[in-house]
Each structure stands twice: as C-alpha cells, then as structure tokens.
Structure 1
Amino acid sequence: MTETLETNADPAELAKFSELAHRWWDPDSEFAPLHAINPLRLQWIEGQCPLAGKRVVDIGCGGGILSDSMARKGADVLGIDLAGKALRVAQLHALEAETPNVQYREVSAEALAAEQPASFDVVTCMEMLEHVPKPESVVRACAQLVKPGGWVFFSTINRNTKAFLFAIVGAEYVLNLLPRGTHEYLKFIKPSELASWTRGAGLELQEAKGMEYNPLTRRYWLSGDTSVNYLAAARRP
C-alpha cells in the first residue's frame, strides 16, 4: 500500500480530511453539502442501476455517507479510502446505526483492482478524482474493478472560470459552504478529460448530469448543465 500511497495520494489532502473526520456525520458541519447532495446522488445511481443485491465498491468513501445509504438500499458495500481516521468514523457509524452489509478498508483503488479485478457490479467514485495526483489512474482502477456489464459512477468538478467562481470563490469564501482550501482549481477535471480517460480504460459513457445549487433556497438539483459540478455514468461492455 505504501507504494500506491506515494504514487497516487496527496498526503496534504489525506491530512485535511483526517482532521475533520469526527465531523463527517454532523449534517451542520463542513460536510453539510455532502449530506445535502447525497439523496440526489443515490437517486441518480439507482435510476441507472437498482442497487438491491448488487456488490458495490465506493472509492474515496470518506466517512461513509454514500456507502451507508447504498447499503440501506440493499447493496453489499465495501467503502475504501486512504484516510484512516475517516474510515474509523465510518465504521463506528455503521455499528451505531446498525447498517447492514457495509464494510470499510484502508486500501487504494489501484491495489484493490490488482487484488479483486472484475469483482463488483457497481463502482462509485464521487467527489474524489479532484483530490488525487493521478485521477486517470483511479479511472483505470475503476474499470478493472467492475464486472463486464457493470456500472461505474463518477462525480467531480469542471475546470473553467465559472467553476472557479462557483466552487472555490463562492462555496469556500463567500457562502462558507466548504472549508477554505478544500479544492485546488488546477485539479478540476473537464468532462472531455474524464470521457477520454473512461474510453481509454475500456468503459462506455452512458450519461452525464450537472448538479446545481441555489444559495437563496439552499436547494441542490440535477440538470443538463455540467459547467460546474457534474456526474458521469459509464459501463464496462
């Protein structure tokens, strides 16, 4: 694991999320946006691929917000991350909430792909690609992990002036939705780049959706506008 940690994880990013780990399940904390968008993410995933009975791996699961909700839909879920403190919070929450069929492991996507190729019906990688040095490597690992015919779901942030203004200036400095320094603009990913990586990894893109936010009503919704936050669904042939 050490080799993968050095090659495709940013120690500063891991430290940042570890420091906040105890606040993952506080819906009024720095993770409030994740709690707010989780029902939308879950509904979108379920709309493409009903989760009941599926084997799922949630890459970059953090404190387990999405992992937990997918398990409650009847999936057998493995959440993986390299931030140990966040994983311990996820495990503790699963015990306290008595969430069925969810487990957590401190392992990289690449290492798990080498260990368990073509083992999962569904792979999710949400709000994670923009936090690693080599996102294309994670995309390849996702493609290796999913079974033929299975689904891979991504969500990330576009790289353009509007995304800089909305996702960094607006969310971190004006509205204080996220801690300052949560995102780095140069790590944002254009949909064309993500599409190229997924095709290169042998996946076929099925759908892309934008996620928008109204600061006055504090409401999130999915739309056709992928200019800031967006989700992408792909399948392995």
Structure 2
Amino acid sequence: MTDPVLNADQAELAKFSALAHKWWDKDSEFKPLHDINPLRLDFIEQHLPLAGQQVLDVGCGGGILSEGLALRGAQVTGIDLAEKSLKIAKLHLLESGLRVDYRLIAVEALASEAPGRFDAVTCLEMLEHVPSPASVVTACAALVRPGGWVFFSTLNRNPKSYLMAVLGAEYVLGLLPRGTHEYARFIKPSELARMARTSGLETQTLTGLHYNPLARTYRLGGDSDVNYLLACRRPE
C-alpha cells in the first residue's frame, strides 16, 4: 500500500486550504457540491438506509457530505489531510448542532488502525486529487465491514469529459475555479471498477451525474461519460 504520507498532493491540499473559509458559502466555488449533495445522499440511501449506520467520509473537506449523512441519522467520522478545511468543518458543527467526529488522518493510516469498523465508506470527488487513487480504494475496502458498502464518485477520462468538466465548468460557465481539476487524473469507470475488484469489492451500481446549464440543475442517471458515482459492496 502506498505510504500515506506520500499519497497526498501538497499543491492540492494548499488549493483547498486557501478556499477553506468558503466551504459553507453556497454561492462560492463550492456551490456545485451543495447543489449535488441531496442527490449524492439519495444515491447512498438507495443502497443503505443511513439511520444508525457507522459511516466514514473520506476526504470530507469542510463537511458538506458529512453533515448531510449525520442529518439522515448516520454516526459519521470525517477524515481529511487539509487542516484548515477540518477546522471549518468543526466550527460549522456549532452552527448546525450535528455530531461528526472529524480527524486529520490519511485513509491508509486509518485502515491500519480500524479495519472493518464501518458499515459504509464514502469517497466522493476525492480520487482525482490524489497521486495514487488505487491506494485510497484499497484502504476504503479495508475499512468497511463484510457486507458493507463503499461509494465513490469521480470524473471519467475522455474528450467529452475534458470539454465539459474542465473547459465548460471551469472556463466557460465558471462553476469551478480554473485549475480545480487535472484532466490526466480523471479515472475511467472501468479503471475504478478494476481497482475496486482488486481490493476485494464487488461493483453493484454505476450511474452518471449530469448538469443542465440552462435550468442550472443536476440529475442522476444516464451515461457516465463525465461525472459518475459507483456503489460497491464488500462480500459477506
């Protein structure tokens, strides 16, 4: 397994740290994450009702997904390596009144510390920001209990994805800051499914996430050409 100290891009951590104060500004660069959060939570609950479940949110950032999971009744642990983002996440709990256990730790390190501890692991919009996504997938698989679920979301790698997720979202529509994504790090669904299989996970569901620029709305379903979510299960 990749050394957890090495499996982090310092430039990526610095980028998110610089934006940390904006995590909960729904009109900021993080607006897309706020907009898609209900869809992500619904996708997870299609596979596992969250109430009472022990859930780990890998790459939790400022806690948008973590708080959504907690709001639906899960007992949530959120981990990240961006210290400033975690501070914002912890501060926001004072406003929301929710309970989330936030920790500054690499997923690989936590996998060694607490294997099989969680009913579900989420790793959304994170794999495309690390040097070794396969190492993260392996750690997520180790952290979930037999019979538990692991959920990933990331960006496909093809010309359409580059046109829409990089040129369109960052340069034309301005949905994301320029330089948010590095196209070479995008991951094809077949590649992610292979990483999951190698890590002992069974792929259950693949679905696309689509943005309508005219209506400014998102929806799940259809092709996985650009953004997609993958639900995997660890065999009993």
- TM-score past 0.5 threshold: yes
Determine if the alignment matches structure 1 residue 192 to structure 2 residue 190. yes
Partner of 1:66: 65
Q: Which residue of the partner structure matches residue 128 of structure 1?
A: 126
Q: Helix, strand or coil: the match of 1:7?
A: coil
TM-score, structure 2 length as denominator? 0.98
SS at match of 2:6: helix
* C-alpha separation in 1, matches of 2:93 and 2:46: 25
What residue number does 1:76 align with?
Answer: 75
| Cα distance in 2 between the residues matched to 1:130 and 1:5 | 16
Q: Deviations over 1:109-152 (max 9, x none)?
A: 10000000000000000000000000000000000000000000
State the alpha-carbon separation in 2 of the partners of residues 65 and 103 from structure 1: 14
| 2: CA distance, partners of 1:225 / 1:187 | 20
Which residue of structure 2 lines up, in the alignment, with residue 99 of structure 1?
A: 98
Uncovered stretches (5+) of structure 1, i.e. residues with no partner:
none
RMSD: 0.9
Deviations 1:145-190 (A, max 9, x none): 0000000000000000000000000000000000000000000000
Query: How far apart, CA to CA, are the structure 2 residues paired with 1:24 and 1:4?
Result: 28
8 Å contact kept, 1:4–1:108: no
Could you tell me whether the CA contact under 8 Å between 2:161 and 2:225 is conserved in 1? yes
Q: Could you tell me how far 1:7 is from its partner in structure 2?
A: 1.4
What residue is the counterpart of 1:203 in the other structure?
Answer: 201
Question: Partners of 1:128 and 1:27 in 2: how far apart?
Answer: 20
- How many pairs align? 234
Q: Deviations over 1:26-82 (max 9, x none)?
A: 000000000000000001101110000000000000000000010011100000000
Q: TM-score, normalised by structure 1?
A: 0.97
**1:117 pairs with 115, 118, 121, which one?**
115
Partner Cα distance (1:103, 1:169) in 2: 37
Distance change >3 Å, CA 4–CA 85, structure 1 → 2? farther
- Following superposition, the deviation at residue 6 of structure 1 comes to 3.6
Distance 2:105 2:26 in 1: 27
Identity of aligned residues (%): 65
Please show how residues 3-152 of structure 1 align to structure 2 within 5 Å: 4-100=3-99, 102-152=100-150
Contact 2:4 2:109 in 1 (8 A): no
SS in 1 for 2:33: helix
In 1, the alpha carbon distance for the partners of 2:198 and 2:97 equals 40
